[in-house]
């Protein structure tokens, strides 16, 4: 948003930023509710159900979206119950830092130090892979954004799959 405002010749003054974000959330709620093409990507629901309640596992969301924006999208997908915490664009503008914040929240939920956690980032763009690497997290990359698997491998993802239905995904997540 700051780059967009600068391109328009405007200062990113807090009152203006807050007003734009409020409007964004109002519009997003309406758009998400009526989006006919809205879908959950293959394997997401099954994987979340599989890890739900596993001892020592905390599942969070890392996104550049605002927390409320992410909640609206997750609720529309019926996935909101699976993500009790995360790192969001309202926490930090840098993708790696918001992942680091989310990881700290996950560790706190587990009652352990973040240094004692195996952090795994599931992403579908080279930027996701770079952010995972920046925080020393394992990265499971999936080709669901239109980015080729070769590009995700070249970005440094440790594990690359077409989508989350691949039978190798659970082992990649657990490090088994």
- Per-residue pLDDT of 67-80, as tens digits, reads 999 999 999 999 99
Average pLDDT, the chain: 94
pLDDT grade, residue 52 (50/70/90)?
A: confident
Alpha helices in the chain (DSSP H): 2-7, 14-34, 44-51, 67-77, 95-110, 126-134, 149-155, 169-174
3-state secondary structure of 38: coil
- Per-residue pLDDT of 10-39, as tens digits, reads 999 999 999 999 999 999 999 999 999 888
> What span, in angstroms and rounded, lies between the C-alpha atoms of 87 and 104?
9
> What span, in angstroms and rounded, lies between the C-alpha atoms of 2 and 5?
5
* Contact of 100 with 132, CB cutoff 8 Å: no
- Per-residue pLDDT of 97-108, as tens digits, reads 999 999 999 999
Percent with pLDDT over 70 in the chain: 99
């Amino acid at each position: 948003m700051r780059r967009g405002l600068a391109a328009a010749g405007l200062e990113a003054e807090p009152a203006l930023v807050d007003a734009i974000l409020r409007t964004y959330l109002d519009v997003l709620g309406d758009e998400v509710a009526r989006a006919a093409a809205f879908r959950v990507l293959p394997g997401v629901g099954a994987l979340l159900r599989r890890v739900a309640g596993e001892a020592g596992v905390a599942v969070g969301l890392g996104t550049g979206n605002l927390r409320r924006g992410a909640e609206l999208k997750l609720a529309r997908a019926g996935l909101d119950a699976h993500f009790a915490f995360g790192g969001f664009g309202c926490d930090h503008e840098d993708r790696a830092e918001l992942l680091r914040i989310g990881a700290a929240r996950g560790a706190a939920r587990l009652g352990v130090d973040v240094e004692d956690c195996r952090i795994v980032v599931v992403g579908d763009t080279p930027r996701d892979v770079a952010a995972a690497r920046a925080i020393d997290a394992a990265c499971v990359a999936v080709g669901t954004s239109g980015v080729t698997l070769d590009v995700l491998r070249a970005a440094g993802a440790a594990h690359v799959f077409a989508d989350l239905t691949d039978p190798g995904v659970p082992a990649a997540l657990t490090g088994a």
